A and B are shown apart, each in its own frame.
Chain A
Amino acid sequence: MMRFMLLFSRQGKLRLQKWYLATSDKERKKMVRELMQVVLARKPKMCSFLEWRDLKVVYKRYASLYFCCAIEGQDNELITLELIHRYVELLDKYFGSVCELDIIFNFEKAYFILDEFLMGGDVQDTSKKSVLKAIEQADLLQEVGVGRG
């Protein structure tokens, strides 16, 4: 199970944090600070996996953003890389050639897209088409403004 996912810039600015395990705000801040330091210290040629505390961390840099996932011992690192890539593809499709600014100014959208792709730390839909369609429909509903059927 994925414990959490973080998106942050090279300067150490947090752009998104999704926690799948109940953790106090204080503890979260500490973990984020620590992990950002570790990941930002990695050299470009190093592999995408590292061990941190009792977890495995899978990270990949896309342009100016680091996508970082903490997974448990029995989780598959290679498929987590695919997961990260899929999320980036979804963002890319939605925003049209996504860049960090899109994520900054539309952070709620980034969360909404993530919540259509993952739930409770697990993948909920493996079809790109299906996920994007769901977002589209939700966006439409937001325009219309009605909540109850």
Chain B
Amino acid sequence: MVMPSLKLQDLIEEIRGAKTQAQEREVIQKECAHIRASFRDGDPLLRHRQLAKLLYVHMLGYPAHFGQMECLKLIASPRFSDKRVGYLGAMLLLDERQDAHLLITNSIKNDLSQGVQPVQALALCTLSTVGSAEMCRDLASEVEKLLLQPSSYVRKKAVLTAVHMIRKVPELSNIFLPPCTQLLRERHHGILLGTITLITELCERSPAALKHFRKMVPQLVQILHTLVTSGCSTEHSISGVGDPFLQVQILRLLRILGQNHEESSEAMNDLLAQVATNTDTSRNAGSAVLFETVLTIMDIRSAAGLRVLAVNILGRFLLNSDKNIRYVALTSLLRLVQSDHSAVQRHRPTVVECLQEPDASLSRRALELSLALVNSSNVRAMTQELQSFLEVCPPDLRADCASGILLAAERFAPTKRWHIDTILRVLTMAGTHVRDDAVANLTQLIGGAQELHAYSVRCLYSALAEDISQQPLVQVASWCIGEYGDLLLEGSCEETEPLQVEEEEVLALLERVLQSHLSLPATRGYALTALMKLSTRFRGDNNRIRQVVSIYGSCLDLELQQRAVEYNALFRKYDHMRAAILEKMPLVERSSPQAEEQPEEEGRGASPTPTEPKASELLNLLDLLDDSSGGAQHPAPQSPSPGDAVGCLPAMPGAPPPLAPIPDLRVFERQGLRLTLSFERPSGVPALLLITATATNSSGSDVTHFVCQAAVPKSFQLQLQAPSGDTLPAQGSLPITQLLRVLNPTKAPLRLKLRLTYNHFGQSVQEVFEVNNLPAETWQ
């Protein structure tokens, strides 16, 4: 028995009655078979019903492409019921990608020129929904004709179809621009609305059109004025606001016309002020108009007073009980915070309150805006607010909040101590969410603030003792304890509460970090190195440290194992060098690319990178003066050292007279790259020699990644400070300078070996040489 075809209503009922997906599919497949058969040889009078069923099924997600041709047939039918469903089907099933849709062009053409108004309406609607560029070109003149039709019903639809055509084929503006002048005089709101939309599209696409329509600003102002003052009871009003849709559209057009145009902006100034002050915003419709007004004011060349008014309106919006209005206010203020910073600043307290919003999309906006409002005068207060927010904010905002606070702190920190405290607090609260460079930044900051070393190490020690889970914090704390462990033991520091710490406690804490399963491999590296450094900072015997180091010599983690083995070697074979190698680290220049190489060969401080290459580098430099005095002093790599390894030398009583200037010495030249040394013996410090190495480039190719390293005999002490840069532009006048401090307490003859590495003419170059002809004045 063949199941009879269902009526649409019945089909829908049956589909809804299906208990499972499979059952639904069965019903639909059965019905689709009927529909197919009916399309083939069924009653043409019922075709529109079959298509309707198919469209329903399509909405549920089932394939319906076999209905496309039926749409064409229905559209071509003389019956209105056929056309209605046929056009609907065309809009749902046909799109530009199918060839079939071009076939409806002819039917549309016929319907546009010969159909009754409802039929013309269907054709126009379909054209404006799925009309391709080709169809638009073909039918543009038909639509143009309809713009002159007596029926306003058809005219309003024709205008909006023209809008679509302009979007698809901008060249059609030739056809649709001229009628605009006449259309703008229409009184029918629908036509007016469509016309404004059309003019907006034309202006957005063509500067010539923009210029042309600027002449209509007074007319537009008049139309808007009438709307604003027309009062409540017309059929186009919503909540007492005269046709808000039309008002918003006009305001948007005025925005485009007034942008960057003094004259037009002036012409609309008064009206904008009027709308801004008179619109009733008790309901959403009024707020929508006011919002558009604010956007327009901010975008055109409006008077300063008007701009402030606009920002204040947004500020009022922030206090509105309606969330949606608060949302648009926050978004708009964010757009304005750069251009009108001080005006927006006035609303800072309200913005900060919005951080408490339970709605995540609002609190996110509030966070962005708050961060943008931080400046040097409010940084302390704002950071406080943001930190309170960080404690309670939703997890997806944590990272942004933490990074934002750190960035703001970096830009506006009033004091170094405040800066350190802030970073510390952020790391404690949201350590896992901060960016990778936070650790490097903090160590850099602490390293550079010599007066705060004691303070920092105490704070970090206390924080670490409480919680060893926040990895960035643990890493920084370990590093700090390693570097300044001696300061930790000293007992008193005026800035913190007195803290009595024993050596054993500190070692135990670092061991805990080392052993904890919460610690990342990099963290354990930090801890191990810190322990090692403490062997020179602490006074006790180093048995405990030696034990730990030797245990980790067989650790499964390759990185840790390597470090442990090397530290072990330091204890055994190179004990005499241990103190020098584990000296306080010089400050790493953050901005220079050398910082990436982390030249802590000395102490393997903060770098988690594999130590293999560094080890060989270490040996290479040590080898430099092998021939001279067997075992050379390891040179400190670039950068000024806060923890002064050289130590302060007492001024000699009766300072000797200043020495005559020592002549410069050119020590190296190759393909236009030249290195010159200039010398200075500061009076009062006879053992000190200051060498300034100056590199210049007179060639036609840039020199990049320029690094200069130096080595001196064992009895000397050498410090290289950070070079001024590492790039020498071609034929540049800007040299690289680097200061070398050489201490020669024994007044031994100076010998200097230099190692240069750089890229020049596309090749990497390494040069090692000893400096000859050093003037005797440099060491006598």
The chain A residues found within 8 Å of chain B, CB to CB, are 1, 13-20, 22-25, 29, 45-51, 74, 76-79, 81-83, 86, 104-105, 107-108, 111-112, 115-116, 119-120, 122-130, 134, 137-138, 141-142, 144-149
Chain B residue contacts of A22, Cβ below 8 A = 95-97, 130, 132
Residue of A nearest to B325 (CB): A78
Cβ distance A131 to chain B, nearest Cβ, rounded Å: 9
The SS class assigned to the A binding surface is: mixed
User: CB within 8 A of A147: which of B79, B121, B326, B358?
Assistant: B79
**B190–A146 contact, CB under 8 A?**
no
Pick the contact of B116: A23, A108, A148 (CB < 8 A): A148
- Check if B81 sits within 8 Å of A47, measured CB to CB: no
- Chain B residues within 8 Å of A49, by CB: 324, 327-328, 361
Whether A79 contacts B327 by the Cβ 8 Å rule is no
- Measured between C-beta atoms, what is the minimum distance from B764 to chain A in Å? 44
Contact, CB under 8 Å: B359 / A47: yes
Tell yes or no: B538 within 8 A of A by CB: no
Q: Which residues does chain B contribute within 8 Å of A105, judged by CB atoms?
A: 9, 12
**When the two chains form their complex, are residues B189 and A124 in contact, meaning their CB atoms are under 8 A apart?**
no
> With A126-B236, A141-B80, A142-B81 given, is the CB distance from A46 to B361 under 8 Å?
yes
Q: Which residue of B is nearest A24, CB measured? A: B97
Asked whether, in the complex, the Cβ of A108 is within 8 Å of the Cβ of B248, the reply is no
Interface residues of B in 42-69 (CB under 8 A from A): 52, 55-56, 59-61
Indicate which residue in B79, B245, B358 contacts A82 across the interface (CB closer than 8 Å). B245
Which of A107, A126, A148 is in CB contact (< 8 Å) with B193?
A126
Contact, CB under 8 Å: A124 / B291 = no
User: Which residues from A are CB-within-8-Å of B31?
Assistant: none
Binding site for A on B (CB under 8 A): 9, 12, 16, 52, 55-56, 59-61, 77-85, 88, 95-97, 114-116, 118-119, 121, 124-125, 128-130, 132, 153, 156-157, 160-161, 163-164, 167, 189-190, 193-194, 197, 235-236, 238, 243-246, 248, 252, 284-285, 287-289, 291-292, 295, 323-328, 358-362
Closest B residue to A74 by CB, please name it.
B252
Query: Chain A's nearest CB lies how many Å from the CB of B429?
Result: 26
Question: Is the CB–CB distance between A125 and B248 below 8 Å?
Answer: no
User: A138 contacts B246, CB within 8 Å?
Assistant: no
Residue numbers in B under 8 Å from A81 (CB-CB): 284, 288, 324
B291 — which chain A residues lie within 8 A by C-beta?
Answer: 76, 78
Contact A79 B248 (CB under 8 A): yes
Closest A residue to B247 by beta carbon equals A79
A147→B243 contact, CB < 8 A: no
Report chain A residues within 8 Å CB of B288: 76, 78-79, 81-82
Contact B156 A125 (CB under 8 A): yes
User: Chain A residue with minimal CB distance to B120?
Assistant: A149
Distance to closest chain B CB from A139 (angstroms): 10
Residues A147 and B236 in contact in the complex (CB < 8 Å), given A124-B190, A137-B118, A141-B118: no
Residues of B within 8 Å of A141, CB to CB, are 80, 116, 118
B235 to A128, Cβ gap below 8 A? yes
Residues of the A chain whose Cβ atoms lie less than 8 Å from the Cβ of B118? 134, 137-138, 141
On whether the beta carbons of A45 and B359 are closer than 8 Å, the reply is yes
Which residue of B12, B16, B59, B193 contacts A123 across the interface (Cβ within 8 Å)?
Answer: B193
Question: How distant is A14 from chain B, measured CB to nearest CB, in Å?
Answer: 6
> How far does the Cβ of B272 sit from chain A's closest Cβ, in whole Å?
16
- CB proximity of A21 to chain B, nearest CB, Å: 9
- Distance of A97 Cα from B528 Cα, bound (Å): 74
Q: How many angstroms from the CA of A50 to the CA of B79 in the assembled complex?
A: 44
B88 A108 Cβ-Cβ under 8 A: yes
Across chains A and B, which 9 residue pairs bring their CB atoms closest together, nearest first?
Answer: A78-B288, A120-B128, A47-B323, A149-B116, A125-B190, A79-B288, A120-B164, A119-B160, A147-B80
Q: Are B194 and A145 in contact (CB under 8 A)?
A: no
* Closest A residue to B198 using CB positions: A122
Q: A76-B295, A127-B189 are in contact. List 20 more A-B contacts (CB 8 A).
A: A14-B61, A46-B359, A48-B323, A48-B324, A49-B327, A76-B248, A79-B245, A79-B292, A104-B12, A104-B16, A105-B12, A107-B56, A108-B52, A119-B160, A119-B161, A120-B163, A124-B193, A134-B118, A138-B84, A149-B116
Check if A119 sits within 8 Å of B128, measured CB to CB. yes
Q: Which residues of A contact B82 (CB under 8 A)?
A: 147
- Chain A residue numbers with a CB within 8 Å of B55 are 107-108
From the candidates B12, B16, B129, B245, name the one contacting A20 in the complex (CB within 8 A): B129
Residues of chain A lying within 8 A (CB to CB) of residue B114: 148-149
Tell which of B95, B153, B190, B287 touches A126, judged by Cβ atoms closer than 8 Å: B190
Q: What chain B residues lie within 8 Å of A112 (beta carbons)? A: 84, 88
- A124 vs B124: C-alpha distance when bound (angstroms): 12
Q: A149 vs B110: C-alpha distance in the bound complex, in angstroms?
A: 12
Which A residues lie within 8 Å of B235 (CB)?
127-130
| With known contacts A50-B361, A137-B118, A124–B236 Cβ distance under 8 A | no
Is the pair B193, A146 in contact by a Cβ cutoff of 8 Å? no
Of all chain A residues, the one with the shortest Cβ separation from B130 is A22
> Complex Cα distance A14/B245, Å?
28
Q: Give, as a whole number of angstroms, the nearest-CB distance from A67 to chain B.
A: 14
Query: Which residues of B have CB within 8 Å of A16?
Result: 59
Whether A148 and B78, one on each chain, are in contact in the complex, defined by CB atoms closer than 8 angstroms, is yes
- Min Cβ gap B121→A in Å is 8
Instruction: Specify which chain A residues have a CB less than 8 angstroms from the CB of B96 in the assembled complex.
Output: 22
What are the residues of chain A within 8 A of B80 when measuring CB–CB?
A: 138, 141-142, 144-147
Closest to A77 in B: B328
